[in-house]
Amino acid sequence: MSTATIAPAAPVLDLDARLALVDAAMTVRLSEAAVAFEVNTAHLPGADPIPHIAETLPAPAAAANLYRPPLADLLHRARLRIETVGWCRGAVFDESGAVCPIQAIRLEAHGDRDLAHDACVTLLDAIQDQFAHAETIPSWNAQQTSVGPVLAAFDRAASRAHARNQ
C-alpha cells in the first residue's frame, strides 16, 4: 500500500504582498544591472556614471471618478475618503481622523439617509460575495487586518451599482 503525500496549497497572496514581492525582485534586478553597467563601461574614458534616481515616487493623483449613477458615485467617494483620511476598525472614527466604512458612506452622503442606506446594503452584498460569513459591515470590518480588503469591497460595490445604473 502506497501513501501519497499531498503538498499544502500555496498561500493566496493579496495585492500588497504581490507588489512587495515584485518590488524586491526589481530591486535585485536593478542592482545587478547597475553592477553590469559599471563593469561594461569602466574602460570607457569619460563614461557618465549611472544618474541618481529619486528614491521616492510622487503620490498618485486622485483617481478620476468614473461613476455617474449616484449610488456608484457615493461608494467611490467613500472609498476615496478612506484612502485620504485613513481607515479604522472598532470605532466610527479615531483621533487621527480615520473612519470606518459606514462613517465614510455617511459623510459622503451629505445627509441623504436613503442613499447612505442603499450604499451600505450594496457594500454588504459585495462583502458577502467574498466573505459569506459576514453578518454586518462593522463585524466584518473589525476582522480585517489591513485596508486592502475594505477598499476592494468598495470597488466591487461601486462596480455593481454602476452596472445596475444606481
Residue 71 cell numbers, joined: 449610488
Provide the whole-model pTM. 0.60
Averaged pLDDT score across all residues of the chain:
83
pLDDT (average), residues 82-94: 91
| Confidence grade of residue 67 (pLDDT, cut at 50, 70, 90) | low
Q: Of the ranges 5-9, 25-29, 34-38, 136-140, which one carries the lowest mean pLDDT score?
A: 5-9
SS3 132: coil
Q: For the chain, which residues make up each domain, given as ranges?
A: 70-163
pLDDT (average), residues 14-39: 83
Instruction: Look up residue 97 and give its DSSP letter.
Output: S
